[in-house]
Amino acid sequence: MSQVSIESEHIEEIAGGEFEREPVPKSKLKGWKSFIGMYAGEHAAGTEFMIGPLFLTAGVSAFDLIVGLLFGNLLAVLSWRFLTAEIAVKNRLTLYFQLEKICGKKLVTGYNLANGILFCFLAGSMITVSATAVGIPFDMPMPKLDDTLPNGMTWIIIVMAIGAVISIIAARGYDTVTKAANWMSPFIVLAFIACGIVALNQLGVDSFSKFWAIWGEGGEPFPGQTKFTFWHVVIWSWFANGAMHIGMSDLSVFRFAKEAKAGWATAAGMYVGHYMAWIAAALLYAVYLKSPEALSFLNDGNAPPVAPGPMAYNAIGVFGIIAVVLAGWTTANPTIYRAGLAFQAILPKLSTAKVTVLAGSVATIAGLFPAFAMKLLGFVALYGFILAPFGAIIVFEHFFAKKFGIQKNYAEIAGIKINNAVLFAWAISFGLFYFISVQFDVFLSFVTLPAWLLCGFLFLLFSKKFQKK
């Protein structure tokens, strides 16, 4: 190892050892086993308590849900393994630094702003989830599926209190956030398993045929919800984390992997969290749908509320309340921290603690409005659709730059702050497919892959043209 690299590594260790603006050195690389716990914990969390029940509100059938999730999650794992992890171990750079080299600093600032705001909204929906558990002892009215605004002062006070606690803890730094999450993750996974088993008993399920009959052939979606078919389930579950895999956000994670095969560790998150936990949460809602309260909503032509706190409490008592609070907490906390980092790239003079509190404040305000949580299926689809095409820029440059004869990391080499090839490619692909989605009522996840492919292809074409000039 040269003296320069030794000194560089020492500087990075003093700065916190995150290697934000240089490749991760060999001495800091981790084996594939290091990623299993992280992904299992991150993907068995607060969002799962919302998403599982929302599949039932979409009128999904048993085959569409159980087999569709099997294939959709497999496609997500393959995307992480053969795209994200493959590129990450070649370059060992964060998403933000790699985008900066290709796109230019000003364009990455716009990306960071969008990323930060979307992270805040996602964290806000998790504050909503935790609030449904904290509100149980106070006999708080739960938000309904079609609620947009806060439903009372109790709701506002509880959300504000949870948001303040989460923001303060997130502001203490990533070490505090990750240590807490790692301790809580096994507890939360155990809670999902317990909820699923208890719910099966409450539903009188003692055979696979009775389990299958919970969803049966499916049905009409609840008022205001989209009807989900097999392909809705496959494509949505594939792109639920689209920003992370085909959007390349997890380059920042896998740059620490010794080999690209570490990408297979994401299966722990997909099949513990996005399979077992989603189905367990759906079972909780199936129990609730048989209650007199839910039947009264349905008889009046209204959708019964999806409130994770009461559902988990009904299954496993106080243990369920604690699990929902912690699940919302472990998702919201790192999400607020990430949003703070995105904002800090725009406001570099503010300390990490200050921008994290800013992000937490935005997330708390978002948490006051139940619509973000109640429309989580649609919001997650939008999140992936907006951010994933930026990953196509990195993927297409990595695999096809030499064949197309274009210069890699063009913004860095040319000294430009906005790479128009990137800007035009993203704007055209986003604008065209968002128009198609709205105009022809096409589910947004269905156009995420076409938008991603078009963005990558246009980037190559525009780069060929602009770089010649």
* pLDDT-based confidence at residue 182 (cuts at 50, 70, 90): low
Residue 293: pLDDT over 80: yes
Residue 17, pLDDT above cutoff 50: no
Lowest mean pLDDT among 162-176, 238-252, 273-287, 355-369: 162-176
The region of weakest confidence among 3-12, 79-88, 162-171, 408-417 is 3-12
CATH no. for residue 152? Answer: 1.10.4160.10
Q: Domain count of the chain?
A: 1
Residue 278 within any structural domain of the chain: yes
Does some domain include residue 464? no
Please check whether residue 364 lies inside any domain of the structure: yes
Is the per-residue pLDDT at 449 higher than 70?
yes
352: domain range? 36-377
Asked whether the beta carbons of 91 and 98 are under 8 A apart, the reply is yes
- 81 pLDDT band, cuts 50/70/90, is very high
pLDDT of 9 strictly over 50 = no
Query: What Å distances lie between residue 255 and 24, 32, 165, 289, 397, CA to CA?
Result: 7, 12, 32, 45, 18
**For the residues 67-77, what does the mean pLDDT come to?**
97
pLDDT digits (tens, 9 = 90+) for 354-391: 888 899 999 999 999 998 888 888 888 898 899 999 99
The whole-model pTM stands at 0.86
Domain assignment of residue 245, yes or no: yes
Per-residue model confidence (pLDDT) at position 18: 56
What is the structure's pLDDT at 171? 78
pLDDT for res 5: 32
Structural domain includes residue 13 = no
Q: Does residue 397 lie within any of the structural domains?
A: no
Compute how many other C-beta atoms are within 10 angstroms of the C-beta atom of residue 186. 13
Asked whether residue 308 is assigned to any structural domain, the reply reads: yes
pLDDT tens digits along 193-204: 999 999 999 999
Is residue 4 scored above 70 in pLDDT?
Answer: no
- Residue-wise over 397-430: b if at least 16 C-beta within 10 A, else e? bbeebeeeebeebbbbeeebebbebbbbbbebbb
> CA-to-CA distance for 284 and 292, rounded, in angstroms?
15
Angle at 450 between CA 448 and CA 452, to 5 degrees: 65
pLDDT on residue 395: 96
Residue 41 or 406, more confident: 406
- Asked whether residue 93 is assigned to any structural domain, the reply reads yes
